[in-house]
Structure 1
Amino acid sequence: MTFDYYDTLSTAQQRVYRMSDGVAALRVREPHALAPHVEALRLALASGERALLEDATARLGDALCERLDVAAAKVEVLEVRPSSETGELHGLYTQAPGHRPRIQVWMRTARHGRVVAFRTYLRTFLHELCHHLDFLLLELPHSFHTEGFFKRESSLFHQLVPRLNTSSSRRRPRSSRV
């Protein structure tokens, strides 16, 4: 399946789109070893302190990039999301010749200035990181939002925040009273 904008792309861009769409997952070496970075990010976000969150996010990004054998992007955490009539900007990936690629993530909602939820923040960061990985790891000349792109984002998230094992989280049977 392609998204609606596929038909507006050039033939070369459509080829890149299909290449991107064909990669559904990125495998991180020893993702469980990143748990302390994920927890530090969660705690920093809960503190509401921008500088702490920026440091924790950058450390997680550096560790992920190291495990994927790519150069890390510069991470910048900003306060309140910019907004317009069309919505809020959650994150942004930029690259310019001669400059280190940059990931920007906003930590507070535009409307109420509240710190965003942990999963939302982490997914936003991973979304922007996937743009970075499209260029450096997959060596794509463009980074398109494809089904494959969103699956890669999800694959990273689930390696960092594993799903609960349903067999171990079942309730124990209640003992009957006599």
Structure 2
Amino acid sequence: MPRSAYERSKSVETIAWQEHPLARSLALRLLQESSGESRQAIGQALLDVLDDAAGLPPCKLTVADRPQRHRKREGRLEMKTYGYYRCDWDAGEARRGSIRIYNLTAIRQQILSPKVFLETLLHEWVHHYDFAGLRLDRSPHTSGFFARIRAVAETLGVGFVAPPKREASIGPLRAVDDVVPPGPSRLRPGGTDPPTWIRDQIAALFGRKEP
């Protein structure tokens, strides 16, 4: 019986790729940048190198100079989104991957710290690797997922930006799935309504459920 996406994600702790010296220098340069324009240019160059090294289709980066999407409850910050990954399905494969990162913090609207920006970029790229490289139909936040982030960060010489070993996103704020699934027409030929887990993800990201 085929293993589930969760089981496969949990079992893989490394990235299958060919190391590229340029990737390390680009990652270190990102730690020196703060403007959205510079982060987008250097971040895109880093993604291009990572995609090439791992044999993945291109992934487009957008750095938005706007506050992180967030939600409050009783005046307190309950949830915020650093960024997200999305892709389309084409002939059973992930294509047209894209990453969006918000360059300003949710409440104070300060520039995102270099460490957090780089960790977010690597986090979202591992989602790209899961869909386009491991060919998972979902990219859950398993212990293997976070191990893959650490593996990439350590290879790039920036292991200190990676999160500590954990099973899923843990912190004072509610965890939010940062993957926007492909449209229902691609997942379910014939236009059948998407399953509940997709609708819940969209609601978590955008504050509403798809009709």
3-state DSSP of counterpart to 1:24? coil
More strand by share: 2
3-state DSSP of counterpart to 1:101? strand
Amino acid in structure 1 at the alignment position of 2:58: A
- CA shift in 2, pair 1:163/1:23, >3 Å: closer
Maintained 8 Å contact 2:84/2:99: yes
Q: CA deviation at 1:53?
A: 1.2
**Structure 2 equivalent of residue 57 of structure 1:** 43
- CA shift in 2, pair 1:97/1:24, >3 Å: closer
- CA shift in 2, pair 1:64/1:17, >3 Å: same
Root mean square deviation of aligned Cα? 2.2
Determine the C-alpha separation between the residues in 1 that align with 2:15 and 2:139.
15
Maintained 8 Å contact 2:32/2:114: no
Q: CA deviation at 1:146?
A: 0.7
**Structure 1 equivalent of residue 152 of structure 2:** 156
Determine the C-alpha separation between the residues in 2 that align with 1:163 and 1:84.
30
**Structure 2 equivalent of residue 121 of structure 1:** 117
**Structure 1 equivalent of residue 28 of structure 2:** 39
Give the gaps of 5 or more residues in structure 1: 1-10, 165-178
Determine the C-alpha separation between the residues in 2 that align with 1:162 and 1:68.
18
Task: Report the count of equivalent residues.
Answer: 150
Maintained 8 Å contact 1:23/1:149: yes
The CA deviation string for residues 47-76 of structure 1, in whole angstroms up to 9 with x for no partner, is xx2112111111101111111111121110
- CA shift in 2, pair 1:42/1:162, >3 Å: closer
Maintained 8 Å contact 1:28/1:156: no
Maintained 8 Å contact 2:36/2:64: yes
Maintained 8 Å contact 2:13/2:144: yes
TM-score, length basis structure 2: 0.64
- CA shift in 2, pair 1:137/1:97, >3 Å: closer
Pick the structure with greater CA Rg. Answer: 1
Maintained 8 Å contact 2:31/2:114: yes
Moved more, 19-28 or 61-70: 19-28
Where relative contact order (Cα < 8 A, 6+ residues apart) is larger, the structure is 1
Corresponding position: 1:143 with 2:130: no
